[in-house]
Amino acid sequence: MAMSKEISNPYSTGGGGTHFENRVQSAFTVLLLVRGFALGLPPWPITKIKLQGKYQGFETDDLIVTCSEPNSSRKSKLLGQVKHTISFTKRDKTLSEVITAAWNDFNNKDIFSEEGKDIIALICGPLSGADTDSVRPLLEQARSSIDSDDFINRIERGKFTSNEQREKLEVFKIYLRSANNDIDLTNDQLWRFLKSFHLFIYDLDIQGVVYSLLHSLIEQYSHNNSKAIWAQINEYIQWVSERAGSITIEDIPEEIRDVFKKIPVETIPVEFVKDTSKIVVSNWNDHESARELAIASIVGGWDENIVADKSILSRFAKLEYEKWIPKLREVLQYSESPLNLRMESGV
């Protein structure tokens, strides 16, 4: 009997990994469009994204995100490698490739600057529970340490750091040794690398949390059209990625860019603004609202929540209450107004 073809994972055979990478690149492009920030970098707006930067010397090359400090020449970069599936174990070929590329870039002063607060990031889909609960805390331990001695001290304390974190540290050591020509890293090298290495988990293989947040962000600029805009951005990114291109605001097609233009804030022209707070009225009998003030004085007080009160005032004024009250509300703004507003319910 002939053997039937083995069933494969549809996400893998259907190009899911490439789609995931494009979605991550698109997510950063949305942040560029809204002048947002990149995780792990200083809170400076994203100004440029480079895709597939291998030919420019980057080994962590799926996306290189540059943030620029406003009114300054300072910049910081995120070197990102995107992998939908990965495992922090001692025999994961993909992780070995990621760590090797990251180590090479970390030591390349032409493209990476510790002093400039550059970072290297592995951006992946959902991890196993063991990896999620141990790898990120390990990296945060490195970033929380003041130096390599402090980091090693934290790791060696039995109850301060978990056994799972120590196991993941050994995984890093194995791959870093291999990347470093089979020479063990010093504690200082290990600490400096780990505090520069970030792990970001994006659930963009499904319409998950990140997807929802991106659409909510787009919706602030394009009401009821976020799906179409996201599709346009994703299609544009596929073309740029295939050509190892760069992206700035100016490079993005006008039909996408125009959606994210800042909405001008409309204000009342200065010449139409009437500041009554500093006006002193010497004789209220001659004021333009004298008639309304006279009726208010006769009535003495009323509650705007009571229909009968407003009906009585309408009879006195021979005018509907809603048309009569505006002038008195303006009088309330004067510094020495003869009216008082109590409990925001009446004058």
Model pLDDT for residues 194-213, shown as the tens digit of each residue:
999 999 999 999 888 999 99
How many residues are given for the chain? Answer: 347
In one-letter notation, the amino acid at residue 73 is S
Q: At what angle do helices 93-106 and 163-179 cross, to 10 degrees?
A: 70
Token representation of residue 62: 């799926």
Element (H, E) at 141: helix 129-144
The predicted structure's pLDDT at residue 318: 85
DSSP 8-state class, residue 55: G
Check whether 284 has a pLDDT greater than 60.
Answer: yes
CA torsion through residues 202, 203, 207, 208, sign = negative
The predicted pLDDT at position 331 comes to 75
Which residue, chain included where needed, has tokens 């291999």?
Answer: 178
Range 52-58 average pLDDT = 94
Which whole-number Å values give the CA distances from 16 to 9, 19, 21, 200, 205, in the listed order? Answer: 10, 5, 9, 18, 8
Q: What is the rounded average pLDDT of the residues 53-73?
A: 94
Residue 29's pLDDT is 97
CB within 8 A of 105, min separation 6: which ones? 58, 59, 60, 79, 111, 112, 120
Q: pLDDT, tens digit, for every residue of 299-330?
A: 888 888 888 888 888 888 888 888 888 878 87
Residue 342 vs residue 105, higher pLDDT? 105
187-196 and 129-144 helices, crossing angle to 10°: 110
Question: Which residue bears the tokens 């005032």?
Answer: 313
DSSP state of 342: B
pLDDT > 50? residue 190: yes
Distances (CA, A) of 339 to 160, 284, 286, 315, 336: 66, 12, 16, 20, 9
Q: What is the mean pLDDT of the chain?
A: 87
Contact, 217 vs 32, CB < 8 A? no
Q: In the structure encoding, which two tokens stand for residue 143, read together?
A: 């970033």
Contact 64, 55 (CB under 8 A): no
